[in-house]
Amino acid sequence: MATTRLLLTFAIYRLIVTVGLTVEPTELLRLGVDGQLSVDPADMETASLDFGMMSRTEPLAVFHPASAEDIARLIRAAYGSARGFTVSARGHGHSINGQAQATKGLVIEMSGLRGRQLGSGKPALPRVSEEESYVDVWGGELWIDVLRATLEHGLAPKSWTDYLYLSVGGTLSNAGISGQAFNHGPQISNVYELDVVTGKGELLTCSEEQNSALFHAVLGGLGQFGIITRARIPLEPSPQRVRWIRALYSNFSAFTKDQEFLISLHAHPAAQKFDYVEGFVIVDDGLINNWRSSFFSPRNPVKITSFNANGGVLYCLEVTKNYDDSSATRIDQEIEALLEKLDFIPTSVFTTDLPYLDFLDRVHKNELKLRSKGLWDVPHPWLNLFVPKSSISDFDKGVFKGILGNKTSGPILIYPMNRDKWDQRTSVVTPDEDVFYLVAFLRSALDNGDETQTLEYLTQQNRRILKFCEDAGIKMKQYLPHHTAQQDWVDHFGDKWDRFYHKKLEFDPRRILATGQRIFNPSFTTQLAFSW
């Protein structure tokens, strides 16, 4: 404890000398934490950036907690401070527009390793209950580590994200979606219980039955009401292998009709449906591979010029079937029965087979390849939209066959989900239709001399896509939303805004949490004034 206090004193001294501190030093010294407050340049640089690499803002310091109580003590200090300071939780830093940053505040490093090196009181490792089929995990745990821990017991969570190097608290603060969402709902629909530190520094357990208002507010709440320190996630028996299938379409109506048919089977027995349904758009003459997966062998490339693209655009349906030794003999028959009901280009079916873990972790393998080429740590002007089913054809004509031209610089995902799998009591907003599509433009900006791949060009193209939706009356919602004016946030939340606003007053009355989202101003300073 003496060593921790000495480090804390040194960090506060550095803060005063180098950047000035907007909180009395004695308030932080009284924390009595087991974690570490750091102003190490490497920590500060990490906390000032995110995956988007489009904004940079340096915090006052970075806090490495050793326990949930550490976080509670820190936030109580912020809440009770006369001068005040903001606090943001940072998981793996996969936000796009600086949502986890804290200008002149403290960043809590939830997924760092240092907290686990501090001895007693360290954040707990995943704890699996085989009897009750759930796992308790630290809020900063990465999903890949959750998966590895549960697979040791022959179990796995039901709902995933495409990329597993994301923190549990991070995805639950947004929604957490992938191709399983049509069947199981998003990750926020697959949570039994949470431990949350509110903006008043209260460490509360919440669930459907206990502190339910906080439970539903935090799920999809963009970090506005509290920091998730523990989540209890339901599990199911894990399959051993995955049959992974892709098929191409040149007709958009046939493509969406088949996708919508496949997600309508969610209530059918497992043998009569796929376990995962996604898709993507191919708008240029490139390989059907993309950085999300190594589906095709480099020795057997597939180009879209092999097929007749309607208007230069092809659509790829992506489905999987999970199986193990007991079901291996009938997997081909089950797949054939489903595929014969679909209207894809007959010669375009491609199939591969791999272990369950390898399928779920498919993006990371390609991340390593891109890192080796210096193509990962680049700006990512991503745009993620929920588009209602009734407007998806107009979106195709105006965006895929219009605004994009025949150029893209990253995957474009498109797949439908069933709205009744989303709990409307959570903070997430979706289009008000039974079926809506995720359309995700996952682009990378490159400085390679091609104007269409520059950050400026892609950012402007995103604005054109949003303007097109507005002009066409497409009532879409942003997923992983980014707005800079409060009226835009009011419009985003729609009927949920009043509830969202009053829950903010209840659980974070000084508005110190997650100011990087740019939804609310802190109550104690005009230093961070936004555009309203």
Q: Judge whether 413 lies within some domain.
A: yes
Judge if 60 and 150 occupy the same domain.
Answer: no
Per residue in 295-337, pLDDT tens? 554 444 555 556 666 567 999 999 999 999 888 999 999 999 9
Q: What is the CA radius of gyration of the chain?
A: 23
The arithmetic mean of pLDDT across residues 474-481, rounded, is 98
| Full residue range of the structural domain in which residue 132 is found | 127-237
Q: Judge whether 397 lies within some domain.
A: yes
Judge if 407 and 317 occupy the same domain.
Answer: yes
Judge if 86 and 16 occupy the same domain.
Answer: yes
Judge if 104 and 189 occupy the same domain.
Answer: no
The domain that holds 428 is classified in CATH as 3.40.462.10
Strands (E), 225-382: 226-237, 241-249, 276-282, 314-323, 350-355
Judge if 87 and 138 occupy the same domain.
Answer: no
Judge if 329 and 442 occupy the same domain.
Answer: yes
Last residue of a domain, one of 66, 93, 117: 117
Judge if 413 and 430 occupy the same domain.
Answer: yes
Q: Are 274 and 262 in contact (CB under 8 A)?
A: yes
Q: Is the pLDDT of residue 532 over 50?
A: no
DSSP letter assigned to residue 313: B
Report how far residue 244's alpha carbon sits from residue 265's, in angstroms, rounded to the nearest whole number: 18
Give residue 336's pLDDT: 97
The domain that holds 1 is classified in CATH as 3.30.43.10
Considering the chain, what percentage of its residues have pLDDT values greater than 90? 77
Q: Judge whether 501 lies within some domain.
A: no
Q: Judge whether 396 lies within some domain.
A: yes
Within 13 Å and on the Cβ side, how many CA atoms surround 202?
A: 12
The arithmetic mean of pLDDT across residues 456-468, rounded, is 97
Site of tokens 């745990």: 141
The arithmetic mean of pLDDT across residues 507-517, rounded, is 97
Residues 6+ apart with CB under 8 A from 81: 23, 24, 27, 524
Judge if 69 and 134 occupy the same domain.
Answer: no
Per residue in 350-361, pLDDT tens? 999 999 999 999
Per residue in 35-83, pLDDT tens? 888 999 999 999 999 999 999 999 999 999 999 999 999 999 999 988 8
Q: Judge whether 494 lies within some domain.
A: no
| Closest alpha carbon to 514 in 193, 186, 78, 164 | 78
Local confidence band at 388 (pLDDT 50, 70, 90 cut-offs): very high
Q: Judge whether 486 lies within some domain.
A: no
Greatest alpha-carbon pair distance for the chain in Å reads: 71
Integer CA distances (angstroms), 479 to 98, 174, 466, in order = 15, 8, 13
DSSP letter assigned to residue 37: E
3-state secondary structure of 416: strand
Give residue 527's pLDDT: 43
Last residue of a domain, one of 436, 458, 478: 478
Give residue 115's pLDDT: 44
In this structure, of 58-67, 93-102, 122-131, 451-460, the range with the lowest mean pLDDT score is 122-131
Per residue in 135-155, pLDDT tens? 999 999 999 999 999 999 999
Q: Which of these is catalytic: 278, 318, 361, 508? A: 278
**Mean pLDDT estimate for the chain:** 89
Indicate the pTM of the whole model. 0.91
Give residue 17's pLDDT: 46
Judge if 221 and 93 occupy the same domain.
Answer: no
Local confidence band at 239 (pLDDT 50, 70, 90 cut-offs): very high
Q: Which of these is catalytic: 162, 275, 334, 508? A: 162
Instruction: Give yes or no: 278 in active site.
Output: yes
Local confidence band at 408 (pLDDT 50, 70, 90 cut-offs): confident
Judge if 318 and 414 occupy the same domain.
Answer: yes
Give residue 33's pLDDT: 77
Last residue of a domain, one of 89, 117, 145: 117
Instruction: Give yes or no: 162 in active site.
Output: yes
Instruction: Give yes or no: 50 in active site.
Output: no
Q: Judge whether 250 lies within some domain.
A: yes
Judge if 226 and 299 occupy the same domain.
Answer: no
Q: Judge whether 518 lies within some domain.
A: no
Q: Which of these is catalytic: 34, 43, 64, 94? A: 94
Judge if 388 and 430 occupy the same domain.
Answer: yes
The domain that holds 162 is classified in CATH as 3.30.465.10
Cβ neighbours, 10 Å, residue 372:
9
Q: Is the pLDDT of residue 291 over 50?
A: no
Ramachandran angles phi, psi of 34, nearest 5°: -95, -15
Q: How many domains does the chain have?
A: 3
